[in-house]
Each structure stands twice: as structure tokens, then as C-alpha cells.
Amino acid sequence: MASETQSRTQEVAWARLMSAAQQGDAVCYEQLLRGITPFIRSLSRRYCRNPQLTEDVVQDVLLTVHRAANNESGALRAVEAIEPLLAALPERQRLALEAIKIRGLSLAQAASESGQSVGALKVNVHRAVKALRTLVSTVDKAGEE
């Protein structure tokens, strides 16, 4: 019972953070990501035996959260919280990731828009996710200290 109450309290807190993030509050968006990332990682580890797959799941869920936050209000300025991470990526990786994972374009649409082949886009998205995983891991470790 206490666990259910605690879980419900956490859900309400995350919902409030998401709502504030949708209104453009970058600090709440960052708090939301810091709060849900360990939860998502823990949940993913329960179902995925492969650590690489676990991290891929975490990144996909975080990108989905970002898209949901961005699409809900259309006014999300909280993307500023992840811009430094995206800016650290090589340009072709960043553009591929933004087109496919953030803007939700199909591979064909992204290929047409970027001039990259579908195969190159897949490789660049994979490399970008891997690089972001490393960056997020570094941020997680710094936050634990």
C-alpha cells in the first residue's frame, strides 16, 4: 500500500513537471528527465538482459518523452535543456537524429530532405544515440557525485 502511494505521488510529481515543461520551463524539463531516467533504466533492465539494448530502450523512451512534451503545446522551449548534448554531436549525426527521432520524419523523408542515403541515416542515428548514451551516462555519474 505504501509503495502504491509512493508510486502515485511520483507519477503526480512527474505529471506536474511535464506540464510545466510544456509551458516552456526548462528547469522543470531537466528535473523531469533526471527523475525519470533512472526509473526508465531500472524498468528496462528488468525486461532486457542485454545492457546495450537496455540503453537503446532508455534513449528511445527519452526521445519519445521529448516529442510528447514538444508536440503537446507546440510552445516547448525546454528543448534548450538538451541542445548542448545535441550540439556536441557531429553535424550529420545531429541532423539525422533530429529529423528521425525528434521531428518524426520517415527514413525516406529524412533522406530526401538531408541528401543522405537511408543506410547513412540509419548509421548516423545509431551513432548519435550511442554518443548521447555516453553523454547522458557522464551526466548521470556527475549527478551522483
- Residue 140, pLDDT score: 52
29-40 pLDDT per residue, tens: 889 988 888 888
Contact indicator for 62, 33 with CB cutoff of 8 Å: yes
124-135 pLDDT per residue, tens: 999 998 888 787
What is the DSSP secondary structure assignment for residue 127, as one 8-state letter?
A: H
Please, what are the domains in the chain? Answer: 1-78 (no CATH), 82-145 (1.10.10.10)
User: What is the average per-residue pLDDT within 48-76?
Assistant: 74
CA proximity to 18, closest of 85, 63, 65: 65
Of 68 and 45, the one with more pLDDT:
45
User: What is the average per-residue pLDDT within 115-122?
Assistant: 95
Helix axes 2-22, 26-47, angle to 10 degrees: 140
- Position 85 confidence tier, pLDDT thresholds 50, 70, 90: confident
How far apart CA 28 and CA 13 sit, in angstroms, is 10
